[in-house]
Structure 1
Amino acid sequence: NYFDFDTDYETIKNTLNTDEIMAEAIKFGEGIRILNQEEWETMVSFMISANNRIPMIKKVIENLSVSFGDYIGNYRGKEYFSFPTAERLSAAPVERILECKAGFRAPRIKEAATRFLYEKDKIYNIKNMSYDEGLAYLKTYKGIGDKVANCILLFSMKHFDTFPVDVWVRRVMQTLYVSKETKDADIRKFAENKFGKYSGFAQQYLFFYARENGIGK
């Protein structure tokens, strides 16, 4: 159920629709869903996202998949490959990962892959941990700080009560909800108190609304 068709999004939207800002954001992003993404792929993808731009993030993931993944097939003239397993990235020389344009993240990716092989049962169980326990554990991995850990928790571990703050979310929150001086940790706390167990869904509606409309740009 990758596309999360079993979740009742009408209930989520009705619960979040408590002010004019959210009402507009929900209407604008009517079809947004949080996908059921695999934990390992999500971990590495967000490690790559740190201090990086979207086109480069996509390119690094594509390079890793071509170099270490399995061939899936050709669609409309483009060849597709699976995301590499932890086994393959753990066995890969750092130099090969560097060739994929991963930069300073290359040794961290290899180290994470090696740890994952021994700790994957715990990783797969984070969805059953408390938010604080899951956050603390993910942050023991090099290259995973608060923002990246919160993204991993939200997008692959069903912790929908978290509210990751990136530059666009910071801008929309400081423009529409809090003062310009409000720190990321306080923005997240404000949002989680306001939006409760559906904070992650609120974050997605606001993120899309801000990006597409240049709010706070």
Structure 2
Amino acid sequence: MKKLELKQFDLEQIADSGQCFRWTRIMEDETGDAASDKESEKIKYRIIAFGKILNIEQDMTSGIVTMDCSDADFDNIWKDYFDLDTDYGKIIDRIPEDDSYLKRAASGCDGIRIIRQDPWETLITFIISQRKNIPAIKASVEKICKAAGSVIGEADGEKLYAFPTPEQLSSLSMDDLNACSLGYRAQYIYKAARAAFDGAVDLDKWKSLGDEDLFDKLCSLYGVGKKVANCTMLFGFYRLDSFPIDVWMNKIQDKYYPEGFPIEAYRPYGGVMQQYMFAYERSIDS
């Protein structure tokens, strides 16, 4: 069990930021209703990553974060996963004084951190994410985990599965993948899994590539476009300058940056700034 007092860390903001799809909110009461008053409640999530299960809780009054894990797993997995060695306050301080919109966004969403995920899982989940809403993405991800992943635990009488390896995922047929509600994305997943299992795609080796070469490699994969490549780079390869563009970012650009995003001013943390804007605009539009 680890207890930490963290700055620029908000579980709910991270969970809602669209970075990862295997976070499950643990309800606060017997009626099944989530806590309605965030400021007076503890926020709890179950996270599955790197073949491990983490129950994590944040007291929204004190800010104390409690992780149900061993010291070894904290040091070897979760400390890095939550990017706890990075001072996000210093990143926020780099925002140009004349960018009033980004300053508001960062102030309102300063609990967001870039989650450092497994590149393989990130690639596959963001291929799935194309033209799907978050509940549908999560449902499809859980279906492929149940279809091919290894059982790693249980909660509420349900088995919990690790994300399938390339070998496990490549064992699924197109019929199996179609049963996971993937639609046209099934063929993308099928080819990516086969290529990774056969060694034609080696994401571990790709970690050593520069940003431009990595982007080109990712875009060369069947079904991977610019947005999926940038998301995979940002969340799977920790390339903090990657700047995914989607309908929300296009909307922000039209409203606040008609001459284009000042990307040069954001470097080398363009992806972090993108997350603040993305989360903030969704929050004020809801």
What is the TM-score with the length of structure 1 in the denominator?
A: 0.88
Q: Is the 8 A contact 1:72 1:82 kept in 2?
A: yes
Provide the residue aligned with 1:24 in structure 2. 104
Relative distance call for 1:5 and 1:176 in structure 2 (3 A) is same
**Greater RCO between the two (CA within 8 Å, min separation 6)?**
1
Aligned-residue identity in percent: 35
Provide the residue aligned with 2:213 in structure 1. 133
Write out aligned runs for 1:158-173 (5 A). Answer: 158-173=238-253
- The match for 1:14 among 75, 89, 93 is 93
Provide the residue aligned with 1:213 in structure 2. 284
Which protein is richer in strand relative to its size? 2
Unaligned runs of 5+ in 2: 1-79
Relative distance call for 1:68 and 1:191 in structure 2 (3 A) is farther
Structure 1 runs (4+) deviating above 4 angstroms are none
Q: What is the CA distance between 1:77 and its match in structure 2?
A: 4.7
Cα-Cα RMSD: 1.7
Deviations 1:71-118 (A, max 9, x none): 222234543211111101112111001101111111221110111120
Relative distance call for 1:9 and 1:119 in structure 2 (3 A) is farther
Letter aligned with residue 188 of structure 2: R
Q: Is the 8 A contact 2:174 2:190 kept in 1?
A: yes
Q: For residues 90 and 15 of structure 1, what CA distance do their matches in structure 2 show?
A: 44
Deviations 1:143-185 (A, max 9, x none): 1011111111111112111210111111122211226xxxxxx
Provide the residue aligned with 2:116 in structure 1. 36
Q: How many residues of Structure 1 are paired with residues of Structure 2 in the alignment?
A: 205
Task: Describe the SS at the equivalent of 1:163.
Answer: coil
Letter aligned with residue 128 of structure 2: I
Task: Describe the SS at the equivalent of 2:94.
Answer: helix
Which protein is richer in helix relative to its size? 1
Letter aligned with residue 180 of structure 2: C
Task: Describe the SS at the equivalent of 1:34.
Answer: coil
Task: Describe the SS at the equivalent of 1:125.
Answer: helix
Point out the structure with max Rg over C-alpha: 2
- The match for 2:264 among 177, 189, 193 is 193
What is the TM-score with the length of structure 2 in the denominator?
A: 0.68
